[in-house]
Amino acid sequence: MINSQYTRIDDAAIARCKDIPASIFADVAGRRGALDGRIRTVAPGMRLCGPAFTVEVRPGDKLMIHAALVLAQPGDVLVIDGKADTTSALMGELMCAHASAAGIAGIVIDGAVRDVATLRQGAMAVFACASNPNGPTRTLGGRIGHTISAGGVSVSPGDLVIGDDDGVVVVSQGDVALLIDAAQEKMRAEEKRMRDIAEGRLVYGWLEGALATAGVLPAGTRLNDAVEQFRAAGSRR
Provide block-wise average pLDDT over 10 residues at a time, the chain (237 residues).
Answer: 90 92 96 96 97 97 98 97 97 97 98 98 96 96 97 97 98 92 94 91 81 82 75 65
How far apart, in whole angstroms, are the C-alpha atoms of residue 161 and residue 221? 45
For residue 235, the model assigns a pLDDT of: 61
Within 13 A of 181's CA, how many CA atoms are on the CB side?
3
Neighbouring residues of 47: CB distance < 8 A, sequence distance ≥ 6: 106, 125, 163, 164
For residue 60, the model assigns a pLDDT of: 96
Neighbouring residues of 195: CB distance < 8 A, sequence distance ≥ 6: none
For residue 231, the model assigns a pLDDT of: 73
For residue 201, the model assigns a pLDDT of: 84
56 beta partners: 81, 143
Cα first-last separation, the chain: 72
Q: 35 and 108 in contact (C-beta within 8 Å)?
A: yes
Domain ranges of the chain: 11-174, 187-235
What sections of the chain are H helices per DSSP? 11-17, 22-28, 63-71, 93-101, 116-121, 176-198, 207-213, 223-235
Nearest one of 39, 50, 58 to 143, comparing CA atoms: 58
For residue 48, the model assigns a pLDDT of: 97
How far apart, in whole angstroms, are the C-alpha atoms of residue 15 and residue 221? 47
CATH architecture of 11-174: 3-Layer(bba) Sandwich (3.50)
For residue 135, the model assigns a pLDDT of: 96
